[in-house]
Structure 1
Amino acid sequence: MSHPYETLPEDRFWRSAVAGRDALEIAGLWKPKFRIKRRTRIVTAGSCFAQHFSKALVARRYRWLDFEPGPSVLTPEQRRDYHYGTFSFRTGNIYTPRMLHQWLRWALTDTPPPEEVWERDGRFYDPFRPGVEPGGFASPDELFASRRDTLAAIAAAVRGAQVFVFTMGLTEAWQNRESGVEYAVCPGTVAGRFDPGAHGFVNHGFAALMADMKAALRLMLAANRTLGLLLTVSPVPLTATASGNHVLTATSHSKSLLRAVASEMMQAGPRVDYFPSYEIITHPAYGGRFFAPNLRSVLPEGVDHVMTQFFRDQAAAFGEEAPAAPVPPPSPATADEAPEPELTEAEELRCEEEILAAFAPDARPGIMP
């Protein structure tokens, strides 16, 4: 052997692995670290795209767990509206590593969450999950009681899971200037009132993102030393940016940092892995075929292709037969069983960030597109 490249396999070369193939035949993008079987206890959290992940697991009869399933009397529509069954607990979307770390500190340590409450029209909203209760809570006490249920569910999920799937979505966020806590959305959008003296914009850099992901992992492993963390990065572009940059370049900046964090976390130890759903949807090799005409929403066939690769790569790594297609959904269940999937179209995703689209110039009263 005159040099190392002479013995590399074909998937290490662009021509044989990418350019010489149809995009749908590109395979082996993921070399999974840990085995995920049908009975593996899996929980999910993160940005909007994470909702697709849980749906695909349930459809193939994998053991996705819901630790906050909600009252049994709710209809499927009500469960969707109230964010039950969206993730493994009722936090709504968790977009940034800071938000994940924040929720885990409140759930797994003695750190109390702030008592800040947003109000609108006599109803009360949780600043850290303002979209979970349509129309708001009747009182702050009701809000705090509901949040305690969610914190208990997070703690139970971390301690009871074998794999925690977290989809990172954003680097941009709004914080309370005094306490440093991070909100789910900008105050004044869903509810509350924006105060420039009290509320500040932050666009987390690489060091801050890494510090929060490492801190979140430490908390999870302290509660469950056998837990595996599977990171993904949402391929969905930003709805809007407060960074001062064009939303296209702001998206590239944000996703690049999150992708770099995922790589660094994966290389740091055996308990963290990364699955490349971001590359499968966004890479030029796929020609944008998985995006809807708005160039933002991921089409169902894109989600299906992502999850097909997930199961195929698991099967290739561990000598199993990959599930070929989704199976009929099971009955609704609790954290011990798989619940009925409820997301049937991309439009049904529950995403707090989407509210920002309503403030675009062409959506304002009196302005024509």
Structure 2
Amino acid sequence: MAHEDDPLEHERASWKPSSGLAVAVTDPVQNPALPPHRARVTDQDPAAMKRAVRTVYTLFYLSVAASIWSVAAYILFPIESQRIVDIRNNNLFIGLGIALALLAIGIGAIHWSKAVMSDKEFVEPRHATRGRDTTREAAVQAFAEANEESGFGRRAMIRNSLFAALVASILPGVTLFRGLAPQDVDPVHELSHTMWKEGMRLVHDPSGTPIRAADLTLGSAVHVIPKDLADLDHAEGYLEQKAKAIVLLMRLLPEDLVETEERKDWSYDGIVAYSKVCTHVGCPVALYEQQTHHLLCPCHQSQFDVTHGARVIFGPAARPLPQLPITVDAEGYLIAKSDFEEPVGPSFWERH
């Protein structure tokens, strides 16, 4: 323990840093305690409290109206019409409705806590917590006090409007699920038939130029559509048909292909054609690695081995990419031998 006449202690107390600022030896920081409580306007004026309560439940009911409007916008501006104006309005008004619904809930909750809930400051001492009866009784008491301070149990209009807003905010999302699948149709039937048929030429997407087998270079990957689809020229139904019939055409060395006996005549001189629609959730498979002969889906990183029938070698895809049987016509142009022999697209559809 240092003596009061200790010269080292005296030196520490009188030491000054090189900047010239003196260092004062002070006592430990004292607890300043809570500042005086300042009452809010809503605590002093009952009329202001009523206005605050009305504002809160009005915001919650505004959220309900915005959620209902999002559902109505989905119906009023059907995205299935393929009209640009309907697609824009669909995205705009559904988005605005959902944004307003969530914003009104947030603002209402903040205004509730700032203007209506209890504003009394309190100090909660820290102590060890144990699962004893007294602890459980204290927890029940804490919930009761929180209910009393927030007014959740007493203010029925705020409570009921909040419940209504939260329930209604889910409706737009549930409604949007309707657009994930065609209505009143059998998805397996729809995905089992594309525009490919025997003798139809393979053409470049989107130019519609026929493809000669001799013009395809080794290692090339070409985006292909049926000639009849190119002739539609973006008419009604063009996008739906293209989404099913789009094909990726690749040329490998014939000896690199490992083909089953029943599929040996599905390729031509090392040229193979596979559906571009990933069998996971339908994303476009468009990344081709020439050296490994792997196809990569950019959405969830499923990988397919082109040399082995586009089988899945990595990722969540459940089955290989469907192969389009091809050959050449008398003029050397690539043609389809038939349609796909299995449904294209995601594997979560019910399969017959």
TM-score for the superposition, normalised by structure 2: 0.21
TM-score for the superposition, normalised by structure 1: 0.20
Which of 1 and 2 has greater Rg? 2
